Amino acid sequence: MKSDCTLDKYKALLATKGFTLLKDIDYFDTFAPIARRTSIRLFIDLEIIHGLVIHQMDVKTAFLNRDIDEEVYIKQPEGFVIPGQECKVYEFGWKERMRVATNYALVLKILTMKKLDLIWSCDDILIDEISNESLILLLSKDVLQYILETPVYPREQELLKEIRIITANHPLSIMASPPDSGQLIALLLKLINPKKTIEIGVFTEYSLLLTALAIPQDGKITAIDMDRDTYEMGLPVIKKAGVEHKINFIQSPALSVLDELLEDHENRRSFDFAFVDADKDNYQKYHERLWQLLKVGGIVVYDNTLWNGTVAMPEGSTKEELKPNRLHIVEFNKFLAVDYHFQISQVRLGDGITICRRL
């Protein structure tokens, strides 16, 4: 209250979910809406000293001013619960999750460093440790699962499925093109019916097989990868599909192969399609060469152009292992955005793909 008896500020009362305040008992009580950081530290210190495990913390409020990686779920509000889906929670998008209380982030950091299984409940908010799956771009796991199960898996060709299953045993199986992106690329290939194509980054041949299956009988693919062993993994399936004759596999760093192709003037402006899915630091160099190799109207598709969504995150919120390529992809996206030799579209599929049509 000010000296002239007028009110300067109203006290804010934080009424928590459940509306547990009772008239004539604690109706006019006010509570400190923020737990003191020292109190939280004290509990964590005790936990560390005594080797205990924190399974859950109930927190009443969050101030949104700090980046976090954790997944955040909210229960459906009372009165707005979808019938038949009572047990479902709403998942915050990463942008919404980016900003959470400073002391939360601090505490979470301590907890995750100790590699605890953390479930933090803040009345209606649950926070748990981030998983790779949560980085499926801008889609909830449920929506992605729906897409895979509805239009993708039932239409995936048996031999592609076979490669996917073979690849699942590889420790880097995550590198294979996801089937939903594959479905779009196969559709593009059918639209342009390419005779001459390039693939940079073959791995166990998921994208190579889908390309070989989609192009015409006399179509050719220059398939480049530094690793022959992974190429050998999918080769029996390529043979079974009867498309080996379409593939010229070259074991080499891709850049030198593109330069060699360019030395032969016949190759210039002769390719109809290219798929680029290897070393991100060279994307811009590949692009400069592919511009010369592609026909007018030819298409080049770049994979991983959203790099786990990190392109839109601050550097500080990016996991260490994603940082180097994040910078390359950010630069490449900027470069493509102003390259008017191509019509482009960046698609939120898989890890992000950018489709470019040479003008």
Ligand X SMILES: C[S@@+](CC[C@H](N)C(=O)[O-])C[C@H]1O[C@@H](n2cnc3c(N)ncnc32)[C@H](O)[C@@H]1O
- Segment 155-184, which members bind ligand X (CB under 6 A)? 175-177
- The verdict on 225 binding ligand X (CB under 6 A) reads yes
Min CB(42)–ligand X separation in Å: 47
Question: By CB under 6 A, which span of 19-27, 109-117, 213-221, 224-232 interacts with ligand X?
Answer: 224-232
Q: How many of the chain's residues bind ligand X (CB under 6 A)?
A: 20
Helices H / strands E in the chain, number of each = 11, 11
Torsion over CA: 180, 186, 187, 192 (sign): positive
Question: By CB under 6 A, which span of 88-96, 125-133, 202-210, 319-327 interacts with ligand X?
Answer: 202-210
Question: By CB under 6 A, which span of 81-89, 126-134, 215-223, 273-281 interacts with ligand X?
Answer: 273-281
Please state, in angstroms and rounded to a whole number, the distance separating the CA atoms of residues 151 and 148: 6
Q: Is 224 helix (H, G, I), strand (E, B) or coil?
A: strand
Q: Which is nearer to ligand X, 156 or 277 (CB)?
A: 277
Q: Which of 67, 128, 162, 227 binds ligand X (CB under 6 A)?
A: 227
Q: Which is nearer to ligand X, 91 or 351 (CB)?
A: 351
Please state, in angstroms and rounded to a whole number, the distance separating the CA atoms of residues 316 and 334: 20
- The verdict on 307 binding ligand X (CB under 6 A) reads no
Please state, in angstroms and rounded to a whole number, the distance separating the CA atoms of residues 10 and 14: 12
Cα 350 to Cα 134, 137, 166, 179, 228, distances in angstroms: 12, 7, 20, 8, 25
Q: Which of 277, 290, 318, 333 binds ligand X (CB under 6 A)?
A: 277
- The verdict on 129 binding ligand X (CB under 6 A) reads no
Beta strand pairing status for 271-276 and 294-303? parallel
Angle between helices 37-49 and 102-113 (to 10 degrees): 10
- The verdict on 204 binding ligand X (CB under 6 A) reads yes
Give 225's strand partners: 251
- The verdict on 339 binding ligand X (CB under 6 A) reads no
- The verdict on 211 binding ligand X (CB under 6 A) reads no
Q: Which of 254, 274, 349, 353 binds ligand X (CB under 6 A)?
A: 254
CA-atom Rg of the chain in angstroms: 27
Which residues in this chain contact ligand X in the complex, by CB under 6 A? Answer: 175-177, 200-204, 206-207, 224-227, 230, 253-254, 277-279
